[in-house]
Structure 1
Amino acid sequence: MRTLFDKTVINRMEIKNRFIRSATQEIMAEEDGHLNDRLYELYENLAKGGVGLIITSGAYITADSKSMPGQIGFYNDNFIEEYQKLTDTIHGHESKVLLQVNYATKNGQNLKTDDVSLEDIEAIISAFGDAAARAEKAGFDGVEIHAAHGFLLSQFLSSRTNMRTDQYGGTLENNARIIIEIYNAIRSRTSKDFVVFLKVNSFDEIDSEKAFESCQYICSQLSDSGIDGIEISGEGEASDYKESIYRDYAAKISALNNNIPIILVCKNRTPDTMAQILNSTGVEYFALSRPLIRQPDLVNLWMKDLNEVPKCISCSKCMQPNGTSCIFNKD
């Protein structure tokens, strides 16, 4: 029987348990995207708290693609030294770390699929490859491509939002093309041991059937290409489940792609539920966000007592203008 505290290996990345901190905007970076002591402290507390793998918040990868105040940047080599300090700190507490890479805006404008030319797409693909190569130099164990939650890559993948009529729209193959080309660019710029994940929607409450069809297609294509892991997410309430709400979609994807690790994200709350999913489906890892904002040491608490109830009540009030934090945590 598999357990939540199994030691596992993805590619050559050894992970001490099946808990992953999912990417979460901290809203703490400097104006130009650089790190600071608040971010170092936040990530060190997560690593000390016992989580096996940390995925950073989405970093903007060109100087003109910042999406929000306080977003971390990673758009030139000047960032390498400070991120090396971050990865060294996390590794010092026996946790692993991936950099989430994203592209969603240009000069403050939220981009749609029709807003980018073929030349723009070529530049975006190249920027992802550059960021991944930079991340490897900075000591990251890998990167996660963010293609979920309505950002630009998510829009390309969706037949509901992608109205292009060229080679990047109109069919499942064309809709997925930019993501596959980004994946190939990352692979061409990094070593074989460098881990690459994808985060993707499995559900869209406006058209759930088409969303899952797109999810199946991109997961199958990247599975065949050797991707190291896929994080299954979505937009909207996918079911009547109160926790682990995308479990059925993740289970179906894992059954269709049993050669790659599948990570389930969104409302993973209690070890009993996660253990049941772990041992009844092909899902192998569980990504958490809000519970770790309130209790960064939650995984260590679960290691001592699996009956420990998380204090997070999913109020979604943690994203504050001066930085993401739990409103119930008082100094």
Structure 2
Amino acid sequence: MSQSLSAEQLQLDANESPKLLASPLAITNSALVKNRIFKSAMSEQLGDKNFLPKPQLAHLYKVWAQGGTGLLITGNVMIDRSALGEPNNVVLDKDSEIEPFKKWAQAGTENNTQLWMQLNHPGKQSPKYLSPEPVAPSVVPLAKALQSGFNTPKALSDEEIVAIIERFAVAAARAKEAGFTGVQIHGAHGYLVSQFLSPHHNRREDKWGGSLENRMRFVREVYKAIRSKVGESFPIGIKLNSADFQKGGFSEEDSMQVMKALQDDGINLIEVSGGNYENPSMMGARVKNSTAAREAYFLDYAEKARKLLSIPLVVTGGFRSARAMESALTTQATDMVGIARPLSVDPDLSNKLIADINHKISLKPLSTGVKALDFMAMLNITWYEQQLSLIGHGKSPKPNMSAWISVLRTFASMGTTAFKKRRA
């Protein structure tokens, strides 16, 4: 149960190290995370032409493992090579060569680190140059501002839905075979699982749509299919929206009920996020001052969810200081602290946070000064992907790399593809 602590109670000695942040957490009877720092998923864009992980991906996760993070979540690995969210995605399916995944898993589990693979299907959030006819629960296009880059989807048949559920299960079983220590279902940010949950995107009238019970059937069946393949002791988590933050979409009330149902089904961990391509709240859009002061975008929601849940809960988005992280753990609003972009500019950040309660990191605003160019180059995504590429190639990240250099590198590396919408 969450509790309110005064500012005085939360004060730690200036020279004191964080206590809860450094403490272990049992996810299952056989899965112990060494500390409470959770690296949330980021798109690495390090898949090769056969959708296999490049060697740089293994090196990147080796560096993060040595950097002290307790639990690393991979960037979204697609379960179907005909349904990509972005170019250079990694895909794990029945036909994937397993050896590159084993090397990735071995590197990312060094230093007693947990490494979970995030599994995803983009649904209609697949750019038109990758998916001429994307699929979704219903024939509902993305918002008008995005329709130039994303085609109107085809509604999935019942048989196709069942086949996708099986693909999730196969990918999870193969992740376990490769040596990953858990999997996370991507159920947030407007991808396929999230589309099924949303009454705006899911307008079906069969058993997969309509009531919340029907709309959550897809994600529950995905979980159950994975569990049947990996066994009872293998950790399965989910990243779930607190809400979509759009009219007629997935609400906080819906989200709470889905979390409770998944906990009853046996899921082991829930990471809280929010938003989608049409309303990117996970990027910190329109954050209130009170939220910014606590550093975490979804902490207020997590405090409500905590009253319903007994399984580990993770809040990701906005954390920048050891002191704010320790405070969030002390109030029991969250069991782990999720960070992502800060680890792309300082892969050793977790070691520093655990060693010093006063340690914090700031991320500089990114802009060329030309908003249209920033948007076209997806600067707030590609700048960080370039940092990941540097680390993967054995180099140090460049926190002060200019926005202009990043944009030029984006266009140079992608050619005409750089001018096509990859994300919102």
- TM superposition score normalised by structure 1: 0.93
Answer yes or no: is 1:272 the counterpart of 2:323.
Answer: yes
Between 295-304 and 274-283, the greater mean CA deviation after superposition? 274-283
Answer yes or no: is 1:305 the counterpart of 2:345.
Answer: no
Q: 1:311 to 1:225 in 2, by over 3 A?
A: same
DSSP-derived class of the 1:308 partner: coil
2:341 to 290, 300, 303: 290
Answer yes or no: is 1:319 the counterpart of 2:381.
Answer: yes
Q: Give the Å deviation of 1:167.
A: 0.7
The CA deviation string for residues 246-288 of structure 1, in whole angstroms up to 9 with x for no partner, is 001111111111x200010111211211211212134101111
Whole-angstrom distance in 2 between the partners of 1:278 and 1:183: 28
Answer yes or no: is 1:4 the counterpart of 2:28.
Answer: no
Q: Give the Å deviation of 1:304.
A: 2.3
Between 74-83 and 147-156, the greater mean CA deviation after superposition? 74-83
Between 208-217 and 265-274, the greater mean CA deviation after superposition? 208-217
Contact 1:294 1:329 (C-alpha < 8 Å) held by counterparts: no
Contact 1:168 1:178 (C-alpha < 8 Å) held by counterparts: yes
Answer yes or no: is 1:190 the counterpart of 2:241.
Answer: no
Q: 1:225 to 1:84 in 2, by over 3 A?
A: same
Q: Give the Å deviation of 1:319.
A: 2.7
2:253 to 205, 210, 213: 213
Aligned counterpart, 2:67 = 49
Q: Give the Å deviation of 1:191.
A: 1.9
Q: Give the Å deviation of 1:210.
A: 4.8
DSSP-derived class of the 2:76 partner: strand
Q: Give the Å deviation of 1:244.
A: 0.4
Aligned counterpart, 1:165 = 205
Between the aligned residues of both structures, percent identity stands at: 32
Q: 1:111 to 1:267 in 2, by over 3 A?
A: farther
Whole-angstrom distance in 2 between the partners of 1:215 and 1:60: 24
Contact 1:141 1:195 (C-alpha < 8 Å) held by counterparts: yes
Q: Give the Å deviation of 1:127.
A: 0.3
Aligned residues: 329
Contact 2:273 2:298 (C-alpha < 8 Å) held by counterparts: yes
Answer yes or no: is 1:40 the counterpart of 2:58.
Answer: yes
Answer yes or no: is 1:247 the counterpart of 2:287.
Answer: no
DSSP-derived class of the 1:200 partner: strand
Q: Give the Å deviation of 1:329.
A: 5.3
Whole-angstrom distance in 2 between the partners of 1:305 and 1:53: 20
2:76 to 49, 55, 58: 58
Whole-angstrom distance in 2 between the partners of 1:209 and 1:39: 35
DSSP-derived class of the 2:243 partner: strand
Q: Give the Å deviation of 1:63.
A: 2.2
Q: 1:224 to 1:63 in 2, by over 3 A?
A: same
1:69 to 87, 92, 103: 87
The 5-angstrom pairing of residues 55-134 of structure 1 reads 55-76=73-94, 78-105=96-123, 108=131, 109-114=133-138, 115-134=155-174
Aligned counterpart, 2:399 = 328
Whole-angstrom distance in 2 between the partners of 1:48 and 1:226: 31
Contact 1:113 1:162 (C-alpha < 8 Å) held by counterparts: yes
Q: 1:238 to 1:246 in 2, by over 3 A?
A: farther
Whichever structure has more strand as a proportion of its residues is 1
Whole-angstrom distance in 2 between the partners of 1:5 and 1:152: 35
Whole-angstrom distance in 1 between the partners of 2:49 and 2:383: 14
The 5-angstrom pairing of residues 226-241 of structure 1 reads 226-235=266-275, 236=281, 237=286, 239-240=288-289, 241=291
Whole-angstrom distance in 1 between the partners of 2:259 and 2:119: 18
Between 268-277 and 162-171, the greater mean CA deviation after superposition? 268-277
DSSP-derived class of the 1:93 partner: helix
Q: Give the Å deviation of 1:227.
A: 0.7
Unmatched 5+ residue regions in structure 2? Answer: 1-9, 11-18, 139-154, 276-280, 367-377, 388-396, 402-424
Whole-angstrom distance in 1 between the partners of 2:52 and 2:398: 25
Q: 1:199 to 1:180 in 2, by over 3 A?
A: same
Larger radius of gyration: 2
Contact 2:341 2:384 (C-alpha < 8 Å) held by counterparts: no
Contact 2:200 2:248 (C-alpha < 8 Å) held by counterparts: no
DSSP-derived class of the 1:164 partner: coil
Question: Structure 2: which amino acid aligns with 1:124?
Answer: I
Between 14-23 and 83-92, the greater mean CA deviation after superposition? 83-92
Answer yes or no: is 1:17 the counterpart of 2:35.
Answer: yes
